[in-house]
Amino acid sequence: MNGVPLAAYIGLGLFMFTTGVVGVIVRKSPIVIFMCIELMLNSVNLTFLAFARYQMVPVASPERLQHSMMAGQMIVIFVMAVAAAEVAVGLGIIMAIFRLRDNVDIDEMNLLRG
Amino acid sequence: MNYESIWLVLLFPILGFLIQALLGTRIEKTLGRKVLGGLAVLPIALSFAVGLVITLGTKGGTSNTATIGQWINAGNLSIPFEFIVDPLSMTMVLIITGVGALIHLYATGYMSEEREYARFFTYMNLFIASMLLLVLGANLLLLYVGWEGVGLCSYLLIGFWYKDLANAKAANKAFIVNRIGDWGLSLGLMLIVVFLLSQGNHVQDGRYLSYDTMLPALQNGLAANPAMATAIALLLFVGAAGKSAQFPLYIWLPDAMAGPTPVSALIHAATMVTSGVVLLNRMHVVFEMSPVASAIVCVIGAFTALFAALIAFGQTDIKKVLAYSTVSQLGFMFIACGAGAYWAGMFHVTTHAFFKALLFLGAGAVIHAMAHNQDMRNYGNLRKYLPITFWTMVVGTLAICAVGIPGVFGFAGFYSKEAILGGALANTHAQINGVQLGQISGWVGLGVALLTSIYMTRLTCLTFLGSEERWRAIPAHTEEHHAEDHAENSDTHHALDENHTPHEVPISMWLPLVVLALLSIGGGYFLANGGAFEHWLYPSGLPVLGEVSTEPTGIPLAMYSMIAALGGIALGLVFYLKGLPKNQGFDESQWLGLRRAERDQFGFDNAVTVAAVDGGGDIARGLWKWVDVALIDGIVEGFGKISGGLGELMRRWQTGYIRLYALMMLLGLVGLIGFFAIVFQRGVR
Amino acid sequence: MNQTVGGVAVTPELLMFGAIAGAAAICAVGVVAFNNAVRSALCLVVNFFLLAVLYFTLNAEMLGITQVVVYTGAIMVLFLFVVMLLNLGGSKLVHEKSDWKKFVGILLGCGLFVILGAQILPQLVHVQPMQLDQDLAKFGGPEAIGRTLFTEYAYPFEAVSVLLLIGIVGSILLAKRRI
Amino acid sequence: MADFVQHLHPAWQALIRVVLFVLPSFMLVPIVIWWERRLLGWMQDRIGPNRVGNITFSRTSRFVPSLLKGKKFKLFGLLQPMADFGKLIFKEDITPTAVDRLIYFIAPGLALFPAFALGATIPWGPYPWLTPVADVNIGVLYIMAVSSFGVYGIVLAGYASDNKFSLMGGLRSSAQLISYELAMGMSLACIVMATGSLKPSAMVAAQSGPLWGLDYAPFNLIQNWNILTPYGLVAAIIFAICMIAETNRPPFDLPEAENELVAGYHTEYSSVKFATFFMAEYLSIIVYGIIMSTIFMGGWHLLPIRFDVMAANYNSFGDVWNLLDTLNGSSLLAPIWVIAKACAVASSYIWIRATLPRLRYDQLMSLGWKSLLPFATANLIVVAIWIVATKVANPVIGWFAVVVSAAILYALYKTINRLNLRNRPNLASRTVTMVDEPPQRREVELVDPAPAPT
């Protein structure tokens, strides 16, 4: 979108990422933590797309240009796929834990302590 | 069928092995043992037929190499997968497959009451395959593969009745002692490669270990430095001595008699133990280069022959006697090889394969008939019960005693032994600075011939002549492993006691006896007249050997050996015709000291075993205590303790709270990025 | 409207972006701030939807629509499904009592934002998007994506498909009481 | 008019298009409601609502013009929906105390949103300057995306009204929608592959080509509607089933199954909010009907006949053919044809509702996952094979390949089902039998008891 500097997109992505990080640390419900992770992933996606659209470094040939425009979108696709798989497995794990103990407070899942 | 199709010879036993290994038990269950045995004998017979055809097509002196494919390519060393077809290899092929087929046929009868029929024939076929690979492989590495293969098979077969400890121990002993020989062989191999590489003469397309290129290269290279020749030759001889049970390393062969008798006949008399001789024949150029090594071979062979022949007197186990006679015959072969009469060695290998296999199989028949009792003192008057076995074994005895009328006719052993002694007495090659050790060992061999005919006569007399009281009298005693291993129909395996009546063996067992008997009667005559065998094997003659001398001291050599043979037989008859002498009975305390010493192999075996086992044990224990436990474990566990302590410190941080971990990660991230930010700011300014 | 803020011309597009981005940021905060899992999920849905809109503004319409289909259509529905299945709606089960971790986390988060922002953003303030001519504008479209994905990114694509398969199997194994 | 519109600001154009799409479909809702009730009544052998909207002028009043005196106009109860709407509006809007207020309020809106947004990429006439609202090159994906929004309203409503039955309804609907989205996407993907484009307008254009791509008589006289092609027929059937499931209509109306969970997700919703749900349901019926008719049934063409080709070939009646062509496709009547097809689809909805009983939950799931999804996938493969074969050889070979591959895939599917038949729940055994079991089976059970353990 013309007239919008790259800083705006990156800033938004950075903000979302930070929010996700804080959420992971702050929240106790594993599902919300998952949501925060998704948030982070999406901020990264936004950053990728923004960089793919705003070609900062001048590229030599049109082929290189197309390639570099495509790379960002490809990575975003793969990130989405990985996120989908991750959510499927993660939610399965949460269900299993919940079935095991009627409580999914993440601070009570501390069996793996030294 | 030309030499290109030699791989068929190797193919059949491998197929048989696979059939036996994969389908054996199923075939045994469904089609029965006869079919299984047939399937075991058939491949060997087939490859014998193929080998026969190819042999007829092989002219003397020709050497063809049939390459199947590339095997190893390492740097400029390339080992193709190739077979050599020349008189030497074909001779061995015929011996292996022919005698092997007969012995397989015998074994189908002999093992018919044993457990794990299929496993036995699996091993047997595998042995034939690896032995064929040993003799057919056209480079030393293939020979080495076959070498190890036969070692493995002999181990497996000695320990076939692995359930009782003695057999297992014997198998281990054989394997370990063979290791020493193989160590020597492998060192010789490497030394050859290193030497040829150092020579810098790039053997054609890098086939450093293939005979057709290696032997000429060695001949050219070793002429320059005989020391290297001696080294290579001695290393190879160590290998040969290990496999063919020469003096220091013979100790495994007598114990190897723990295996089933067909195994003893095939592996430990006819084929495998002669592979050392085959090796020496293959590499004879090396030995021709170094008189010292040849002399050593001669001396070792002669000493072994004498030593083993003496020991044979002290043995009461029929198979042990035969085993020691095998060792001493092998000694003869080595005398020949050392003396440069390589063809004589091979000749003796051939004839020895005939009569020694015959003798073993006969002994097996006797043992079979006597309820697996192997002590000769329990036998007697068996000719009444086992006529075929008796007559065939008589033939075998005469053959091994080298009975013959010079110029007219002789049994198989006669000609080969003549050749050996003649070659030894004639040669001037095996000598260390002037001392003609070769000729000395030739005379020694003559003496050994005498001893041989004595103890062989002893064996025959004790077994077949005399009276039955010896086994009628003895109380019933059973041997332990038969209880479990022969359990198939154990009523036939009742103990040896007064109401025991031996029975003649079935046809599948006496047919091979007859065939081998015929061979040991006529084989030598056929091969020897006109020097057919010699000229087939080495048509161009042998460079280090002049002519086999027929009268070294004016008196024809044949006379000496005839006297030796007949005299020995006469002595033996004098001693043993009327049965077991008093001072050789079950009460061994009445024995002569000499005989008792011979029974204990002059303490050599004990000494070696004690030195090797206990000394080695002490060394190992010391290493374990001081090096392993104290040093290495100390270091390792020290590290373990250190890290354990550190972990103990770090453990407190692992609270199990994921959020805390995330917090730590974030802390590190912020710290790192902040640090870099500051650094970059500095860089900017 | 040509007045500039910090050297950047304030264009209607910028204002529009500001609106969308502000909403997205507020929703992102809401995800963390709401005590109620369902509301967090809703905020996340809205956030993803707005992100999709932003993708559209970046000429990546294919990815934008994929974002909607995958995230709001599938993933977030799964989230809601699980939230309701476990009935974590109200803050009944998880007591979000405040401890020191919370403050430290927020503090560090702000620190991260400030440091990274101060490092990165100033260089990007004046970077404007490159001009797209007609055929370059197609590069967010389905056929361009498809061609690239199935030609030079074929192996990663296959790998990702295998990964998804593994995810399916794993989640079934985890969630099913008895297979 | 076209250039007038095109000279406006894009935003105005978009507004015009939105209005032109939303208003007709919005006005169709009461008619469809009325039509459903009448049709159901007719199918169930009763009258149905026929009173509201009967106007009878008095004979005596002075205010009535004389030609109307005593006249009686029957609207067959057309105004019934209006009356219901009024009733719903003036009812008391009850908000339970324990609900999650925010979500409780936004849920009906969320339910209504996809119904409106769904048709944004659907062209309802050959007027590129008027329709569709946005002719983006991802139209079908857009449909998938928006239809996936439909779940939120229901799930959130079920969650927000703090009620177990509502929650169950919400859960059911979310599971149902997730499962049927897949098969729907697959069946749409078939058409996308066959067309080679994601634009609905391109699909309509492709559907007006010669039948099965065979450009000679008699095939070139018939339009290549997807529903006339084998894969398209399969895809259309799958799409129709999934569409019914997506709109929670019978026989897939488990989220609001009266006899299990009271009224499902809208148990707690009373007046206008309930009306919103109601409206959303019927609106989505219409919009799905429009989508169906656009993607599978040739868009705005009335008949699958190519009158222009007829005019070209049999030019003795040239003018007639041209007139019919104008009527059939490219005319102002096009929107009417689209709406007519949509209504036909809606009528089939009602017919199905009147015919089929409601599925059980496991039946629903096994239908979605074990029948529709495999069939749609197989269909996709078939289409792929068809495309390849057509590109490599010629259309005839292509169709031959379609038949062969379809047969092979069907055999595969049957064998796989046969293989895992044993660990699949046997549905027949779990169905309730109203009549007694036939007696001889009992006798058999009595005759041979379990073998005594020996």
Q: What pLDDT, in 10s, does the model give residues D42-70?
A: 898 888 888 787 788 888 888 888 888 77
Q: Does B659 touch chain C (CB under 8 A)?
A: yes
Using a CB–CB cutoff of 8 Å, tell me whether C119 touches chain B: yes
State both tokens at D38. Answer: 């009448």
Q: CA triplet D101, D106, D107: central angle to 5 degrees?
A: 100
What pLDDT band is residue C147 in, cutting at 50, 70 and 90? confident
Residue D439 has pLDDT above 80, yes or no: no
Chains C and D are in contact, defined as 3 or more C-beta pairs closer than 8 angstroms: yes
Contact predicate D239/D60, CB 8 Å: no
> How many C-alpha atoms does D262 have within 13 Å on its Cβ side?
11
Binary contact (A7, C121; C-beta < 8 A): yes
Sort out which chain D residues have CB atoms less than 8 A from C89's CB and list them.
100, 159
CA distance C74 to B49: 75
Looking at per-residue pLDDT, the higher value among D330 and B52 belongs to B52
Residue position matching structure tokens 């079908």: D140
Say yes or no: A24 contacts chain B, CB-CB below 8 A. Answer: yes
Question: Helix, strand or coil for residue D413?
Answer: helix
CB contact under 8 A, B663 and C115: no
- Check residue B491 and give its pLDDT: 42
Q: Is B685 in the C-facing interface, judged by CB distances under 8 Å?
A: no
pLDDT at C9 over 60: yes
Alpha carbon A103 to its chain centroid, in Å, reads 26
Residues of B in contact with A18 (CB under 8 A): none
**Token pair listed for B70:** 């590339």
Q: Which residues in chain C have Cβ-Cβ distances shorter than 8 Å to B674?
A: 111, 115
Amino acid residing at D219: F
- Judged by average pLDDT, the poorest of D31-35, D49-53, D200-204 is D49-53
- CA–CA distances in Å: residue B680 to residues B160, B677, C120, C124: 78, 5, 12, 17
On whether the CB atoms of residues B678 and B670 are closer than 8 A, the answer is no
**Domain assignments of chain C as residue spans, ordered by start:** 1-90, 138-179
Task: Report the phi/psi class of residue B347: left, alpha or beta, with left for phi > 0 and alpha for psi in -120 to 50.
Answer: alpha
Instruction: List the one residue out of B363, B253, B379, B390 whose CA is nearest residue B311.
Output: B253
Helix (H) or strand (E) holding D56: strand D55-56
Domain limits of chain D? Answer: 7-48+93-421, 49-90
Host H or E run for residue B306: helix B291-313
Distance CA B100, CA B248 (A): 28
Whether C112 has its CB under 8 Å from any CB of chain B: the answer is yes
The better pLDDT of the pair B229, C140 is held by B229
Give which of A59, A65, A67, A69 to mutate to test C binding, by max C Cβ within 10 Å.
A69
Cβ-based neighbour number of residue B487 at 10 Å: 12
Task: Walk me through the domains of chain A, giving residue ranges and CATH numbers.
Answer: 6-108 (1.10.287.3510)
CA diameter of chain D: 103
User: Closest-CA residue in chain C for B671?
Assistant: C112
CB contact under 8 A, A31 and C71: no
For residue B80, the SS3 value is strand
Indicate whether C135 pLDDT > 80. no
Mutate to test the interface with A, among B649, B659, B670 (most CBs of A within 10 A): B659
Which regions of B41-159 does DSSP assign to beta strands (E)? 64-74, 77-85
Instruction: Give every residue of chain B whose pLDDT is below 50, as ranges.
Output: 477-494
Token pair listed for A105: 């407070």
Name the nearest CA neighbour of D101 among D40, D156, D178, D58.
Answer: D156
Q: Does C109 sit within 8 Å of A15, measured CB to CB?
A: no
Residue bearing the bigger pLDDT, B46 or C90: B46
Beta bridge partners of B83: B66, B137
> How many CB atoms sit inside 10 A of residue B608's CB?
15
Cis peptide before D218 (omega within 30 of 0): yes
Comparing alpha-carbon positions, the chain C residue that sits nearest to D167 is C84
pLDDT of residue C91: 46
Cα(B265)–Cα(D212) distance, integer angstroms: 83
In this prediction, residue B15 carries a pLDDT of 92
How far A87 CA sits from the closest chain C CA (Å)?
7
Q: According to DSSP H, which parts of C34-177 are helical? A: 37-57, 61-67, 76-85, 100-124, 142-151, 154-175
Contact between B312 and B448 under an 8 Å Cβ cutoff? The reply is no
Tokens of B670: 């912020």
Question: Residue C38, Cα to own-chain centre: how many angstroms?
Answer: 18
Token pair of D390, please? 């057509």
List CB contacts of D137: < 8 A, sequence separation 6 or more: C61, C141, C142, D197, D198, D199
Q: Which of C32, C78, C163 sits opposite A87 (nearest CB)?
A: C78
Q: How far is C53 from chain A (nearest CA, A)?
A: 11
> How many C-beta atoms lie closer than 10 Å to residue B408's C-beta?
7
Give the whole-angstrom CA distance, residue D63 versus residue C162.
80
Quick one: pLDDT band at residue D453, thresholds 50, 70, 90? low
* Shortest distance, CA B674 to any CA of chain C (angstroms): 7
Above 90 in pLDDT, residue D365? no
| Rounded CA separation C31/B135 (Å) | 82
Separation of alpha carbons B517 and C46, rounded Å? 102
What is the reported pLDDT for B483? 42
Two tokens, residue B534: 């010699």
d(CA B108, CA B449): 34
Peptide bond into D132 cis (omega under 30): yes
If interface means Cβ-Cβ distance under 8 Å, which residues of chain D face chain C? 100, 102-103, 136-138, 141-142, 144-146, 148-149, 151-152, 155-156, 158-159, 167, 170-171, 174-175, 177-178, 181, 198
In this prediction, residue B486 carries a pLDDT of 45
> Which of B651, B653, B656 is the closest to A111 by Cβ?
B656
Exposed/middle/buried for residue B41 (C-beta within 10 Å: 0-12, 13-18, 19+) = buried
Structure tokens at C13: 């597009």
Whether the CB of A44 is below 8 Å from some CB of chain C: the reply is no
Measured distance CA(D168)–CA(D174) in Å, rounded: 10
At the topology level of CATH, where does C1-90 sit?
A: Four Helix Bundle (Hemerythrin (Met), subunit A) (1.20.120)
pTM: 0.57
pLDDT digits (tens, 9 = 90+) for D137-153: 888 888 888 888 888 88
Residue B622, number of CB atoms within 10 A of its CB: 10
Q: Which residue has the higher pLDDT, D402 or D435?
A: D402
Contact across the interface for A112 and B659, Cβ inside 8 Å:
no
What pLDDT was estimated at residue B481? 44
Phi, psi of C98, deg, nearest 5: -85, 130
Q: What is the pLDDT of residue B488?
A: 41
Give the nearest partner residue to A25 out of B652, B654, B663, using CB atoms.
B663
Residue-level pLDDT at C100: 78
Q: Does C87 touch chain D (CB under 8 A)?
A: yes
Cα nearest neighbour of A72 on chain C = C60
DSSP-assigned states of every residue in B502-517? --PPPHHHHHHHHHHH
- Any idea which of B411-415, C93-97, D247-251 has the lowest mean pLDDT? C93-97
- Whole-number Å distance between alpha carbons of D417 and D411: 10
**CA gap D231, D401 in Å, rounded:** 12
Instruction: Tell me, yes or no, whether chains A and D touch by having 3 or more C-beta pairs under 8 A.
Output: no
> Average of pLDDT values for C108-120?
87
Residue of A10, A18, A100, A107 to mutate for C, most C C-beta atoms under 10 A = A18
Please tell me which chains touch D, using 3 or more CB pairs under 8 Å as the contact test. C
Q: Alpha helices of B488-556 — where are they, by DSSP H?
A: 507-528, 532-537
The one-letter amino acid code at D331 reads: S
Of the spans A4-18, C114-128, D7-21, which averages the highest pLDDT?
A4-18
Q: Which residues pair with C9 in a beta bridge?
A: C4
The number of C-beta contacts closer than 8 angstroms across A and C is 256
Query: Which of B242, B296, B288 minimizes the C-alpha distance to B440?
Result: B296
More confident residue, B576 or A113: B576
pLDDT in the model for residue D427 = 52
The mean of the pLDDT values for chain D is 82
CB atoms within 10 A of CB D121: 26
The residue ranking higher by pLDDT, B480 or D317, is D317
CA-based torsion, D231, D234, D236, D238: positive or negative = negative
Set of chain C residues whose Cβ sits within 8 Å of the Cβ of A36: 31-32
How many CB atoms lie under 10 A from the CB of residue B561?
28
pLDDT for position D422:
59
- CA dihedral for B299, B301, B303, B305, sign (positive or negative): negative
Number of neighbours of residue C128 by Cβ within 10 angstroms = 13
pLDDT of residue B490: 41
- The partner residue sitting opposite B674, judged by closest CB among C101, C109, C115, is C115
Asked if the ipTM is above 0.95, the reply is no
> Tokens for D343?
């209504």
Strands C8-9 and C4-5, sheet pairing:
antiparallel
Say which DSSP state C92 is in.
T
- Least Cα distance to D105 among D281, D256, D270 occurs for D270
Residue C4, helix vs strand vs coil: strand
Strand-pair partners of B375:
B317
Contact between A75 and A48 (Cβ < 8 Å) = yes
Cα distances (angstroms) measured from residue D382 to each of B277, D230, D416? 73, 10, 18
Q: What pLDDT score was predicted for residue B330?
A: 92
Would an 8 Å CB–CB cutoff place C146 in contact with chain B?
no
Give the angle A76-A77-A78 at the CA atoms, nearest 5°. 90
pLDDT of residue B642: 93
Q: List, as ranges, residues 121-160 from C with C-beta within 8 Å of A.
A: 121-122, 124-130, 136, 139-140, 144-145, 148-149, 153, 156, 160
Measured between CB atoms, does C24 come within 8 Å of chain A? yes
Q: C101 Cβ partners below 8 Å, 6+ apart? A: A25, A26, B659, B660, B663
The CB density around residue D12, as the number of other CB atoms within 10 Å, is: 11
Number of CB pairs, chain A paired with chain B, less than 8 A apart: 34
Mapped onto helix, strand or coil, the DSSP state of residue D72 is: strand
**pLDDT of res. D448:** 54
3-state secondary structure of B405: strand
Residue A89 forms contact with C (CB below 8 Å): yes
In a mutational test of the D interface, the residue from C80, C82, C135, C172 whose CB has the highest number of chain D CBs within 10 Å is C80
Q: What angle separates helix A30-53 from helix A6-26, to the nearest 10 degrees? A: 170
* Contact criterion met (CB below 8 Å) for C40 and A35: yes
Contact call for B658 and A113, based on CB within 8 A: no
- Per the CB < 8 Å rule, is B666 touching C119? no
